Amino acid sequence: MVGGGQLARMTHEAGIPLGIGFRLLSDTPQDSAAKVVNEVVVGDYRDLDTLRAFARGCDVITFDHEHVPTGHLLTLQEEGLTVRPGPHALVYAQDKGRMRARLTELGVPCPRHRLVADPADVERFATREAGGFPVVLKTVRGGYDGKGVWVVGSAAEAAEPFKAGVPVLAEEKVDFARELAANVVRSPHGQAVAYPVVESVQVAGVCDTVIAPAPGLAPELALAAQELALRVAKELDVVGHLAVELFETRDGRVLVNELAMRPHNSGHWTQDGAVTSQFANHLRAVLDLPLGDPRPRAPWTVMANVLGGDFPDMYPAYLHCMARDPQLKIHMYAKDVKPGRKVGHVTTYGEDLAEVRERARHAADYLRGVIDE
């Protein structure tokens, strides 16, 4: 797996019972995953020779993030290495402009959008196509967790996104009721499974809480979202986990927000809440093993991200949360605490959503240090 973040850490964890040999390409020996994996290669994923040396002897190459240059992956593939998801699919998770173009071609509902050239062009898009300001601007490559995304209220505010010299995509700002995610996993010969559609609560552009399944979601809309995600996976020839982030509009439709072709924050609840976790199924898919059952194990599962707060030492809070709630499942990433950085998550499950949600919320807030009782 290329990338040493928490997704690789948790994928390795899921690979241990499967008996899978796991090799990691990590930026540093201190990355989250590098601390727990036996076979770690430290190097730069942007360097083709590093990638090539890392990949030699691997049955399959997969990813913790989407930042590996598409051209390098095409080269590896031409040299006979197995890359999953393949670069022809992954490019749609790497480049938001190509993603929007392809989904629109497939008739998949998306926010109104267009590549824009400059602030004046943003103004034209806003007034003629998007029903007015505010609109959303995104660099087509390199963004995550709200980075590379701007909500602008006028052409005057639209200068910043163009400074990076990367193409900029403009999108209407959807007046959504809430955000959902439809997560599916697909294997090379086309077997696929769909997890229950979840609600994803975002705070300041960062995923805060995920509720599985999405409360009160109309069954026909849940089914439509799963079918949409399965269709996208098939049409783009995705292999592995595909997260389709969705807007649920106030008039009962879903629009695609983002795609991710790797384990995803909206699927962390599956570690404790589903028969087979997203991490195990991602591995099973990229290794062309039969997929595991995606069904939930409890009526409700809630995942809350633990963000770094003002206190670098989380140990006292960690003790408190374990003592307070013996059923709490804590997942720490062994990352240095920095304010706002994702350093772990907690999951809770049970029959009463309000209680399950409150337990997760309390633990995440206590670990962050925003409450102390």
Q: List binding-site positions for ATP.
A: 96, 138, 171-174, 179, 257-258
Could you write out the DSSP letters of every residue in 126-163? IIIISSSS-EEEEESSS-BTTBTEEEESSGGGGSGGGG
Amino acid letter for position 371 = I
Say which residue the tokens 């591995």 belong to.
283
Contact between residue 294 and residue 193 where contact means Cβ atoms under 8 Å apart: yes
Residue closer to a copy of itself, measured from CB, 9 or 178: 9
Residue closer to a copy of itself, measured from CB, 10 or 81: 10
Cα–Cα distances in angstroms (integers) from residue 283 to residues 10, 85, 99, 197, 229, in the given order = 11, 11, 24, 21, 19
Q: Residue 15: what are its φ and ψ, rounded to 5°?
A: -80, -20
Residue closer to a copy of itself, measured from CB, 129 or 325: 325
Using CB atoms within 10 Å of the CB of residue 61, give its burial: 0 to 12 exposed, 13 to 18 middle, 19+ buried.
Answer: buried
Question: Nearest distance from residue 13's CB to a copy of itself, in Å?
Answer: 4
Residue closer to a copy of itself, measured from CB, 323 or 354: 323
Question: Nearest distance from residue 292's CB to a copy of itself, in Å?
Answer: 5
Interatomic CA distance for residues 1 and 17, integer angstroms = 17
Residue closer to a copy of itself, measured from CB, 291 or 353: 291
Q: Which residues bind a copy of itself (CB under 8 A)?
A: 9-10, 12-13, 16-19, 21-22, 34-38, 40, 271, 275-276, 284, 289-293, 297, 318-319, 322-323, 326-327, 329-334, 344
Question: Nearest distance from residue 296's CB to a copy of itself, in Å?
Answer: 12
Report which of 217, 222, 230, 198 is spatially closest to residue 106, judged by C-alpha positions.
Answer: 230
Could you write out the DSSP letters of every residue in 6-45? HHHHHHHHHHHHHT---EEEESSTTSTTTTT-SEEEE--T
Token output for 356: 């399950």
Question: Nearest distance from residue 59's CB to a copy of itself, in Å?
Answer: 12
Residue closer to a copy of itself, measured from CB, 224 or 330: 330
Contact between residue 239 and residue 188 where contact means Cβ atoms under 8 Å apart: yes
What does R_g of the chain's alpha carbons equal in angstroms?
A: 20
Cα–Cα distances in angstroms (integers) from residue 241 to residues 32, 234, 337, in the given order = 20, 12, 28
Residue closer to a copy of itself, measured from CB, 17 or 216: 17
Contact between residue 307 and residue 361 where contact means Cβ atoms under 8 Å apart: no
Residue closer to a copy of itself, measured from CB, 204 or 323: 323
Q: Residue 107: what are its φ and ψ, rounded to 5°?
A: 75, 15
Residue closer to a copy of itself, measured from CB, 152 or 280: 280
Interatomic CA distance for residues 255 and 230, integer angstroms = 15
Question: Nearest distance from residue 323's CB to a copy of itself, in Å?
Answer: 4
**Buried residues in 134-145 as b, exposed as e (16+ CB within 10 A):** ebbbbbbbebee
Q: Give Cα 13 to chain centroid, integer Å.
A: 18
Which residues carry a binding-site annotation? 96, 138, 171-174, 179, 257-258
